[in-house]
Amino acid sequence: MDLLQQLFFYLVALVTLVSGFLVIRCKNPINSAISLVMTFFCLAVFYVMLHAPFMAAVQIMVYAGAIMVLIMFVIMLLNLGSEVVGRYRHAVTGALVAGGLLLLQLLILVKQGGVSPTVGTINAQTVEAVGHTELIGFAMFTDFLLPFEIASILLLVAIVGAVVLAKREV
Amino acid sequence: MISVYHYLVLSAILFSLGVIGVLTRRNAIVLFMCVELMLNAVNLSFIALSSHLGNMDGQVFVFFIMTVAAAEAAVGLALMIAFYRNRESIDVEDFSLLKW
């Protein structure tokens, strides 16, 4: 059972990394977008494995559904073809060096800084007994009520901003 | 057993992939998708740590990150459409109006 779980984790991790690599490597933006959808689905699988089924559902609906449809729509609307010219070679080398250094830093950070042992009360059993949605809702409407309201104002501002920016004449 | 470190390492690799993408690509929409990739890497580490620590706060944070990402997608894509109307291109090399 444990071995199977590990094998599954590594399989999904491999798919995540390959599709993540394809996002930055594909010449055609449409192919990048489809790889990104694949990455989002793999992350939803991880959320289920981490006992967060509601976040997995939201991940698929909001990210793989709404945001990616919006991006695909814009790509097709602008009729973008494949990129003809890439960046200069020294820019790519610099980017690889910067990204590699960042990865090294993050790995050292993960390796050196220990994660504290479990402190909270919520574990897989509570999530199953109470329900994940209820737990999230309780946290959001008690401790995080003000950020929740601010998020709704942020969305309103984004709607107005998008309409004003995309309109030809205001 | 899969520990929280597995997820953190995976998240670190995904984040670096996103950074490399932002620095190497020229198409503004692909850059945008790489930013989404980085946001998702952060989401993964938030949920892994939240599940490890037995605390709901991390997952509520992920919820707000998703809200901000949705707002960013709407405004960012509107900006790109407005830019495309002016320049007939969304190559970042053409985004040079404010360049010194």
Residue range(s) occupied by CATH 1.20.120.1200 in chain A: 1-81
Residue A15 belongs to what H/E stretch? helix A2-25
Q: B23–A62: do the CB atoms touch at under 8 Å? A: no
Distance CA A123, CA A106 (A): 27
pLDDT 10s digits, A106-124: 999 888 887 777 777 877 8
Angle among Cα A52, A54, A56 to the nearest 5 degrees reads 75
Distance CA B69, CA A43 (A): 16
Return the pLDDT at A87.
62
For testing the chain B interface, which of A23, A49, A108, A153 should be mutated: the one with the most B CBs within 10 Å? A23
pLDDT 10s digits, A67-89: 999 999 999 988 776 665 556 77
Distance CA B84, CA B62 (A): 32
Q: B51–A51: do the CB atoms touch at under 8 Å? A: yes
Return the pLDDT at A88.
72
Confidence of residue B37 (pLDDT cuts 50, 70, 90): very high
What are B27's strand-pairing partners? B91
CA dist A111 → A50, A100, B3, B9 (Å): 21, 16, 13, 9
By Cβ distance, the residue of A46, A115, A151 closest to B44 is: A46
pLDDT 10s digits, A22-38: 999 888 899 999 999 99
> Which of 3.30.420.40, 1.10.287.3510, 3.30.70.20, 3.90.1410.10 would CATH assign to domain B4-94?
1.10.287.3510
Share above pLDDT 90 across residues of chain A, in percent, rounded to a whole number: 59
A151 CB neighbours in chain B (<8 A) are 64, 67-68
Distance CA A30, CA A71 (A): 9
By Cβ distance, the residue of B24, B69, B80 closest to A67 is: B69
CATH architecture of A1-81: Up-down Bundle (1.20)
Residue B57 belongs to what H/E stretch? helix B57-87
Q: Nearest C-alpha of chain A: how many angstroms from B97? A: 18
Distance CA A74, CA A97 (A): 32
The number of helices, as runs of H, and strands, as runs of E, in chain A is: 8, 0
Q: B70–A52: do the CB atoms touch at under 8 Å? A: no
Q: Nearest C-alpha of chain A: how many angstroms from B35? A: 11
Mean pLDDT calculated for residue range A118-140 = 85
Q: B12–A110: do the CB atoms touch at under 8 Å? A: yes
Residue B24 belongs to what H/E stretch? helix B4-24
DSSP codes joined into one string, A50-91: TT-HHHHHHIIIIIIIIIHHHHHHHHHHHT----SS---HHH
Exposure class string for A31-66: b at 16+ Cβ within 10 A, else e: ebbbbbbbbbbbbbbbbebbbbbbbbebbbebbbee
Going by the DSSP 8-state scheme, the letter that residue A13 receives in this structure is: H
Q: Nearest C-alpha of chain B: how many angstroms from A113? A: 10
What is this structure's pTM? 0.90
| Nearest by Cα to A88 from B24, B12, B89 | B24
CB of A53 closer than 8 Å to CB of A47: yes
User: Does the structure show a pLDDT above 90 at B61?
Assistant: yes
Q: Nearest C-alpha of chain A: how many angstroms from B55? A: 5
Mean pLDDT calculated for residue range B8-13 = 94
Confidence of residue B97 (pLDDT cuts 50, 70, 90): confident
> Does the ipTM surpass 0.95?
no
Distance CA A37, CA A31 (A): 10
Confidence of residue A43 (pLDDT cuts 50, 70, 90): very high
Domain boundaries, chain B: 4-94
